[in-house]
Structure 1
């Protein structure tokens, strides 16, 4: 394939992995956090969200050079060039996180569907959504997962952006307050929570796995890396657009009333008396798309990450891979059936592991990207080392905040 001038058609064909990552970031947790930020502090969180999306881009960028440049996934790089034990630990972190937060994702999808079909069971919808995700993953066709996520992203753009537009924000206040570069209400913990929900340890590992599927037969890595950068950059902007729209809507409609937002479903309910049922419907559509995309992401990454971490057969139909995927599908449904949600202890454990793993993943990618025997001409230059150093420092701050929050949660139990 020629490395000649790239066309618009080339960029459109390259779209996909970035959309999957955008869809993975915007789950019910992100929708809830953004709604709370807007309700409490108006537009003032927008600049923090923009910073978070820029960090998310540079956090994932090394995966392009490793996965496309040297045709290895990041997890394989960790296992073969650092330590098999570290690779296994990272998978355990991601697995525990998937179990803990998948119940929340399923509950978010169920709440959105119950909005349209009142009186239906949360558990029933959780089972339906889990089976849907399992079937899509078992088709073992990357293009299906890519296309489904692109549709879900378009649904979120339509639903949340239109809802924000309908709310009628003051553009002058949006710009002056949203980009004042002040900590909202002086609440640094809540501000960092918006950053933390946008940058998680599984991003770069999951993104790398999807890049390997998209560019498995790449003959022009430099060209494909350029295309991947455009795809990821566009979709991190879309992440900002969608999440920012939620903040804008909440800031415009809920903030002046002084009402409290405790969940994404609560946000949809609050919109009805203020903007009408149409806004509630739109927001619920967006919430469902956000929830089911996160459900699909957490199910789809494990039949790739598990075998590469443990160096076993990578066939998705292999018994060990089926068992892992089945566990990610079934355990959250069981938790919902008996508890209605993930147990607090499991969520705390997942948050603690994420807090430890996030800076670890940054350091690992930094080390891998400086191994010239692995990456050759795609190894880090000075500018890339400076950027990765800044990202590592910032993610370490996120991690410390997460661990402090976990500590407070543990103390609150006694």
Structure 2
């Protein structure tokens, strides 16, 4: 008989799974959502509905596999193929996740440094070195979870400030409700559409979430994922609405100024610290997720020299972009789009495993779950392929 869901267990599960929503509310979400509101107003709001529900459906499937089998997603995928085929699949998936994490890390470091620059006025290269060294130290000793949780709370506090600001957006509830469900891809917005998807449905979170869920019951897991991810999606929506208050080209100083004018000087400082916190927390998560994926798919021992070399390579990618002093906003949007393009490649393997009758039995996908997951895979594949085609054509 499945374990009944108590209020205490449900609340604990929501807090437990908030790590997933905190992971996608990073510099990428702040940047992509605010730019979408500033440039296209409500026209891309539907993308956040799709991406939030897609996150719930895919994350639930990955975690259900772990709860049902006692093995994480990477292990199950690796063992679903025999011989050289299994090795090729494992390496292909690892490289996709590794490249995605490295791309994310560029945006994470740039976002963290941008927030620190707003607060301190210090030069970006100096701040990049400091952030990089602190990340190396924390990842080396493994003391990242408490700090990441604290910074995640700050990010959610920043989201609360945006909720207040968003009430000043020049929109009606009816217009927002319509935009949440009516698809629209205005001219020139395709890269940003993929960016909004890639910053919400984070491919490495499927492996990361799968690795932390075996001790939960299905009911606890589902409640926790639904509530925590929906809350993250609401923050993304209000970030977009707040972006509508910026009439000119989006920039971090401009966003801080808008918050300061609406709420007071403290809100501008909260945005700067929240941007830093979002970037720094994700700067710990992305390298660690790449190494955990290698552990899951390739059997790399935890905290071995190879394990550390993997997260160090991802971290070095972000630090390199920071030292090159590139403009953060275009890079952050671009790397989110890259992950949106990589997403279908990862989800196809997840879809195959979660329908394996011999492996999952009664826990395999239902018809409705297959329809939902198939819809996510189809839409992300079409949008990603469309983006690639336009890039090649130009």
Find 2:309's aligned residue among 308, 323, 338. Answer: 323
In the alignment, the residues of structure 2 paired with residue 123 and residue 290 of structure 1 have an alpha-carbon distance, to the nearest angstrom, of: 19
Matched with 1:111 is 114
Matched with 2:173 is 175
Structure 2 residue runs without a partner (length 5+)? none
Q: Deviations over 1:160-217 (max 9, x none)?
A: 322341464269x342221223456834524454233322432312221233xxx3xx
Q: Residue 3 and residue 354 in structure 1: after superposition, are their counterparts in 2 closer, same or farther (change >3 A)?
A: closer
In the alignment, the residues of structure 2 paired with residue 117 and residue 250 of structure 1 have an alpha-carbon distance, to the nearest angstrom, of: 24
TM-score norm. by structure 2 comes to 0.86
Find 1:94's aligned residue among 93, 97, 107. Answer: 97
Greater shift after overlay, 56-65 or 277-286?
A: 277-286
Matched with 1:260 is 249
Find 1:383's aligned residue among 339, 347, 368. Answer: 368
Q: Deviations over 1:276-318 (max 9, x none)?
A: 5333222222212221222121022123111332233x222x1
Are the equivalent residues in 1 in contact too, given 2:54–2:373 (CA < 8 A)? no
Residues matched between the structures, number: 385
After superposition, where does 1:116-195 map in structure 2 within 5 Å? 116-118=119-121, 120-140=122-142, 145=145, 147-166=146-165, 168-169=167-168, 173-181=171-179, 182-183=182-183, 186-187=186-187, 189=190, 190-195=192-197
In the alignment, the residues of structure 2 paired with residue 300 and residue 16 of structure 1 have an alpha-carbon distance, to the nearest angstrom, of: 20
After superposition, where does 1:286-325 map in structure 2 within 5 Å? 286-312=274-300, 314-316=301-303, 318-325=304-311
Are the equivalent residues in 2 in contact too, given 1:16–1:150 (CA < 8 A)? no
Are the equivalent residues in 2 in contact too, given 1:96–1:350 (CA < 8 A)? no
Q: Residue 245 and residue 354 in structure 1: after superposition, are their counterparts in 2 closer, same or farther (change >3 A)?
A: closer
Q: Deviations over 1:120-173 (max 9, x none)?
A: 1222322333333334433446xx52x4444333322222322341464269x3
In the alignment, the residues of structure 2 paired with residue 372 and residue 282 of structure 1 have an alpha-carbon distance, to the nearest angstrom, of: 50
Matched with 1:198 is 200
Matched with 2:271 is 283
Structure 1 residue runs without a partner (length 5+)? none
Q: Residue 292 and residue 4 in structure 1: after superposition, are their counterparts in 2 closer, same or farther (change >3 A)?
A: same
Are the equivalent residues in 2 in contact too, given 1:21–1:203 (CA < 8 A)? yes
Are the equivalent residues in 2 in contact too, given 1:22–1:238 (CA < 8 A)? yes
In the alignment, the residues of structure 1 paired with residue 178 and residue 336 of structure 2 have an alpha-carbon distance, to the nearest angstrom, of: 33
